[in-house]
Amino acid sequence: MRTGIANLPLHGGKAPRWLFERMIRLAREIACHLVAEHGPGEVLVRLSDPYWFQAFGCVLGFDWHSSGVTTTACGALKEGIRGLELELGLFAAGGKGAASRKTPQQVTTACERLGLDPEPLVQASRLSAKVDNTALQDGYQLYHHSFFFTADGRWSVVQQGMNDANGMARRYHWLSEGLHSFVEEPHAAICCDRRQATLNLVDRHSREARSAITGIARQPDREVSRILAALPNLDMPRHHLLDAADIRPSQLRKVLTRTYENPPPDFQALLATPGLGPKSLRALALVAELVYGKRAATRDPAAYAFAHGGKDGTPYPVNRERYQQTIDTFHDALRQARLGRGEKLDALRRLGRWATALSTGNQDPDG
């Protein structure tokens, strides 16, 4: 089913090589921790949440609101889990431009290793793209399609289209869970500012249309509009500077003032390493919240840009040393836990819950 969309300004450029290499390593650690804590299916669920995905891109150090966060975050995750797919039970295919057209072959190759029939997954990839690009014409031409799936056949799609006329990109999220038809309900997930410009080529009264994604144009009916209104919709502003207006006041207070200037002694005692100060602990807490906190804590994606900074210097230039420290801390925590020493991993769990409690005003980090 379609789980939400995000509207972002079109930006050019790409992450420098030194930053993208770190993005790959941090994306790998986040994926490994999510799988260890919740299983591979939870990675799909979170990728299907436009707010969580945006927060994920922010902690990786990309621009907090630009269209490039989609292709870069998906690319970093795909490269990050490369070689670990069988161990994690998590696979990635597709990408930007020509890479998106390789999705069927990449899915088939992975399924051959798993002894899994690739056809349902290949069909899911193709139909999700067809629905967003053809069955509903909202003025955004797809140019990015990333397909993530698990060894048991569950899947998630993150794809993006561009509209040169208004200088915006639109990201579409899908999840196999709860999906009963590609054309009866998912098409209701399109949400755009000018609905009269949206052409629905799927007639819900036509069985042939539901099975073949064909039919005649029809505007969404009242029930479709109701479903549209209920979907999460993330709209990022065109301005590049990140300021207080872009973050919920309680979240801003958490990030800039209350956060980690006076961290709980037990967290600091367990996580403290030489050179670990308030800003480094802030970065750890934001990543830990993304992995171990409650999903509701990711409603303000821009706040996560304060973990390591952004590639264009917003809210500040990426701090390489702090970035590396975050990668090392998460890597070492999981490695030591596998060796039977789970103190640091437990501390990260508590840090994530604490950060969630702080941002939601809940004084009980376990509540």
| DSSP, res 178 | T
pLDDT tens digits along 158-176: 999 999 889 999 999 999 9
pTM: 0.77
| Residue 272 and residue 215 in one domain | no
Q: Are residues 86 and 202 in the same domain?
A: yes
User: Is residue 102 classed exposed, middle or buried when 0-12, 13-18 and 19+ CB atoms within 10 A define those classes?
Assistant: middle
Average pLDDT over the chain, rounded to whole?
77
Q: Is residue 366 part of a domain?
A: no
Structural domain that includes position 281: 244-360
The count of domains in the chain is 2
**pLDDT in the model for residue 180:** 80
φ, ψ at 181 (rounded to 5°): -155, 140
- The band of 20, judged by pLDDT with boundaries at 50, 70 and 90, is very high
Beta bridge partners of 9: 168
Q: What's the pLDDT band for 2 if we cut at 50, 70, 90? A: confident
Q: Does one domain contain both 202 and 304?
A: no
Are residues 181 and 248 part of one domain? no
Residue 367 domain-assigned (yes or no): no
94: left (phi over 0), alpha (psi -120 to 50) or beta: left
Residues 227 and 306 both lie in one domain: no
Helices 50-59 and 17-38 cross at an angle (nearest 10°) of 130
Residues 228 and 254 in one domain: no
201-225 pLDDT tens trace: 433 443 444 343 333 233 444 444 4
In sequence order, the 6+-apart residues with CB closer than 8 A to the CB of 143 are: 96, 97, 100, 160, 161, 162
Pick the last residue of a domain from 235, 261, 281.
235
Pair 32, 146 in one domain: yes
* Mean pLDDT computed over 307-324: 87
Q: Is 199 exposed, middle or buried (0-12, 13-18, 19+ CB in 10 A)?
A: middle
Q: Note the pLDDT tens digit of each residue in 31-51.
A: 999 999 999 999 999 999 998
Asked if residue 197 and residue 78 are part of one domain, the reply reads yes
10: in domain: yes
The pLDDT of 191-204, averaged and rounded, is: 38
Query: Is the N-terminal amide bond of 315 cis, ω within 30° of 0?
Result: yes
Residues 104, 55 share a domain: yes
pLDDT, average across residues 63-83: 92
